[in-house]
Structures are given as structure tokens and as C-alpha cells.
Amino acid sequence: MRLIHKIGLGITLAASLVSGAAIAQQQQFINVLTGGQAGVYYPLGVALSQIYGQAIPNARATAQVTKASAENLNLLQAGRGELAFALADATSDAWNGNADAGFTKKLDKLRGLSATYNNYVQIVASEDSGIKTLADLKGKRVSVGAARSGTELNARAIFKAAGLSYQDLAKVEYLPFGESVELIKNRQLDATLQSAGLGVASIRDLSTAVKIVVVPIPADVVAKVGDAAYQTAIIPANTYTGQTADVPTAAIPNFLVTHAGVSDDLAYQMAKQLYENLDKLQAAHKAAMAINRANAVKGMPVPLHPGAERYYKEVGVIK
């Protein structure tokens, strides 16, 4: 009887090990690459990781703080993330291997998942700095975002179109949003350029601490950028404390990007759960109010992932 009992225990143990191994094999890792914690990518990435962790079977989802677009795209190419937020121009530069933008080779594994919302190029100065126009930035101390980040690429493009260069500035800092704001509060910087969704936490924080000026980017400057990704836009009055009038600027679309190594089924689920849980994203940040499934594949700078394509065909976005 003891021998039979031991055999039975052995069979049960083996069965449980096999079952455990099967569950482990089915586990799907989803690392969402975001940006700095003071930006918009981060709260949306955290919300997405929570959605995926709850809605996708056996998913283990996390959100990673990064330097945003350029770093995210390089991490995707290396297989060190499954989904990333990135600006349209940075994504196009990565796909084409634009060395001037920091991509020494074509990132050929990138695949599109969805368009999201627009980033607005927001140049904000302390009122004490005397900066009111782009020309006033000459001789001033300005933060342009982390080096080779999507924000910094936007800064280069806008400054060039406005006839400015970094050499015209008294000091150039390559800092994340939160650090830039702290230096302005401490009078160690005059202005910051931040490419983000409207109502970004860093600028809201700054506007409640000191009097600010939101510097306009006129339509003719946006046109001179010469890139279809750059569109004329408005930062509506009262987006930030003390900003009492509409301010013209440039807007650049954001995309969610994945890579070719992600399975079709997982990409399908990531697209599906994004749109079936938009209310949770909108609760995380109001920038998500602009995410619209009808626009999901418009202007996609890289090939659409087949799994995402299957979802969009299923819901009629792609005929």
C-alpha cells in the first residue's frame, strides 16, 4: 500500500510540475516604455500596464521610466520592451536610420500599434526672464530636454525654422521636464521647451509656483520646419495658471510602437484592450481624450504589426 501511495504522490507531483511549466510558458511579459515621470507618457504607460495586466491572460505588465522617444525605439529594436510611446518624427527617423537624429542604422524591427494623441511643443519662460517671443530666447538659459530625446529633436527643428541655433543661447541644458522646472523656480534657467500633451504635470507645477509666459510658435515657423509631422496647433487659454490667451504652437502626433518579435496574438490583444479601456487611460491623463480608434493607423511611420492589423480589420477601421 505504501508503494502505491508513493507512486500516486509522484504522479500528482509530476502532473503539478507539468501544469506549472505550462502556465509559465504561457506567461506573457509586456514592458511598456514611457518617459520621465513628470511627462504624459508615464501616467498613460502605467495605466496601460495595469489594463494589460488585468485584461490579457497570463500577462505580466510593467511600465518603465525612460528618456522617451529615441531611447524607447532603440530599446524596442533590442527586444527590451514590447510597447513604447514615441513621436512621429523620431519614429520616422528611426525607421529610416537618420544618423543626424541619433539613429546610426535603420531600426527595421519596429512595428506600429496605434496612433494616440498629439504632443504640443510648449516653450515656457519665467515672466522675470523678459522672454515673450522666439527671438527673445537669444542670450538666455534654456533647457531643451534630454539629449537626442524626441523633445530635443523637436527643439532643434523649431529653432532652426525660427533662424536660431544653440549657439545663440547663453546656456543649453539637456534635462528632463521636472529638473528643468526646478531650475527655473530657482532662477538658474530662463525657459524650457517641453514636447508633451496639453496640461503636462511639469508645466502645471511651474505655473503655480512662478509667473510664466507661454512663448508662441507662429504658423510660418511651423511651415518652415518642412516636415509633414509638424502641424499648426493652439495651446488653449487657461491650460496653465496665468496663461489667459490662446497661444499658437506646433503639434506632432504620438504613436504606440511595438516590434516584430511580439506575437500576433499579443499585438492583437494590446490593440484591443487599449480601445476597450480608453476610459481608464482618460482617467490617468486628459491627453488620452484625443485617442480615437478611427485615426489609429493614420500617418503611421512604420509598418503596422499584423496582430494590430487583424484587430483593426475586425472592427472596420481597415476595410
pLDDT digits (tens, 9 = 90+) for 277-288: 999 999 999 999
Strand partners, 33: 64, 84
Instruction: Specify whether 80 is located in the same domain as 110.
Output: yes
93 and 149 co-located in one domain? no
pTM above 0.75, yes or no: yes
Q: What CATH number is associated with residue 242?
A: 3.40.190.10
Asked if residue 212 is part of any domain, the answer here is: yes
* Mean pLDDT score across all residues of the chain: 92
174: containing domain: 119-252
Is 134 found in the same domain as 235? yes
pLDDT in tens, 211-248: 999 999 999 999 999 998 999 999 999 999 999 999 99
Contact by Cβ (8 Å): 35, 85: yes
Same domain? For 70 and 195 the reply is no
Last residue of a domain, one of 213, 231, 252: 252
* Whole-angstrom distance, CA of residue 115 vs CA of residue 255: 4
- How many domains, the chain? 2
CA 306 to chain centre: 22
**Residue 221 shares a structural domain with residue 96:** no
Mean pLDDT for the stretch of residues 250-274: 98
Q: Are residues 272 and 236 in the same domain?
A: no
Q: Residues 60, 66, 67, CA angle at the centre, nearest 5°?
A: 160
Same domain, yes or no, for 278 and 188?
A: no
Distances (CA, A) of 146 to 72, 99, 173, 241, 319: 13, 17, 8, 25, 40
Q: Is 17 a residue whose pLDDT tops 60?
A: no
Does residue 217 lie in a domain region? yes
Helix axis angle, 150-161 relative to 69-77, nearest 10°?
130
Task: Determine, yes or no, domain membership for 128.
Answer: yes
Q: What is the pLDDT of residue 18?
A: 42
- Per the domain annotation, does 5 fall within a domain? no
Tell me: do 166 and 95 sit in the same domain: no
